[in-house]
Chains A and B, each alone.
Chain A
């Protein structure tokens, strides 16, 4: 059951940002390295091209050439490519085009593949939407975070609500198939009213897809993660201080009400809930993210990127120098891999991921896998209900979505 599979998607991490946001735990390099005469973008692009080559060769060695069949598994081209960051929209247009075509050459990109580019909305960071679409991007994920001026300032963002509107308009004009925006809930200093206002303003822009994440401010920042290998960067002291202060201004009750509001506003605006943090209009779910939730094989390149081949989770070093240095001398970058997990743990992991989605899980299958107790507990506490369209399945209730960790921590 835990068998390595050829990748169905590829994640490409672009670590550069114009400036660092204090709440962000992703692998990000900001300032002079990201922009201007001392930019490291050029070196990065050369290195990531090499990594694409090396990972593709390894893939061919493991699973055979594209189109071939090995062990009854057909080697198919990628269904999705996701350029995440960081701020991938900082990539100059020609380099973006060259990276996408490199991926197409080495891994293959299926016809109709989803190619997502994450963008920041600021005028100096959103990039050229038309060039991006010409390079092959089909979907833009725009990091709006909020439509509230004060909240954006508090978050240290460079953009305002107008920039979000301009970005969406530009993406549409460029012919994007799908436009998504990210919003953050439970921000310090907001009220339920300002949240509702921000949400309505976002809906007025008519995106195809909305992701809403509750701001999580772990005391130790990203350093609380697993792995002795440097698959994440230390959180700067200033950011930690910001988080301590911001965490004090968060409110569990208000945060819960903000998320509950989504349940009424979004369906009314034509969005379907399909994953704990995600809503989409018909036909606009994120295919790449679904691969993660379906526990499918996804390759990954770039510093700090995480991959899964269906059996093993591995990651690259987050250290740009170490990552780039290895690649430039022709080697795979340093990194780490999670210890193999038992079949039971793999099932548990799959269960937790499936339960995140509206499709939920098959009740009998869960019972057969030995997780009846967690299931009963979830039902008894109003976290799970039969799926409205398929009585054999269960899905999270609204309450279940808010309290999903209470259930998941009984499964892992």
Chain B
């Protein structure tokens, strides 16, 4: 009798859950997959970077060109990310709070960089500002170099990273509606007061989340930047480009030392992203990703 009851109890699992064996198998497969695809390469990066000892690692990072690459990467991110914050705020504000013609088109346009290969994004700027274009020589006559210089790298980076902030904020702001803003206005607040005291605090965690992703991509972008930078060593090479150049020169230790910084950035981003999702899940509309 007792065994019979237990046998019946065993079968009483919810219809949507799998049998233990299947569960175990699914977990094992995903863990193995993650191990091979994600953890192993990460380990390899750090292993290779430190293969000749900590001295060689530090020497590779303090080398002149490496320092220039790090500075350039930080500078590009420092320009591109704030600009994309402004753009992202403006676009999501417009989309979430107003009705206007061409709204659907604007939403599609914001997603464009996700669907275009970064190399193409870079090539677009070569066409726009190259020697054969209209804009390039004109700007050059005023002494402004776009291609193979900082402006080109920044433009390409902005293009590739502009969806991150906007995509994060649009669903969040649509969800929040305009009630709070109307309340603030009815209480006598002007537009700026409403924005800084009501709208911005409401979206701050979502904004931070978007900035984080935007920054990670801005610092790590390779394809688009590779096309417009011209890879002038010590001048227009960002960290990812520098890593590739060093690697092509069989300088694996230096390449991986620099790569380890990028990997570290990715890890920090991942941790912060998880903390944000865990702590402020409802306020960042992470479900949209």
- A and B are partners in one complex rather than unrelated chains: no
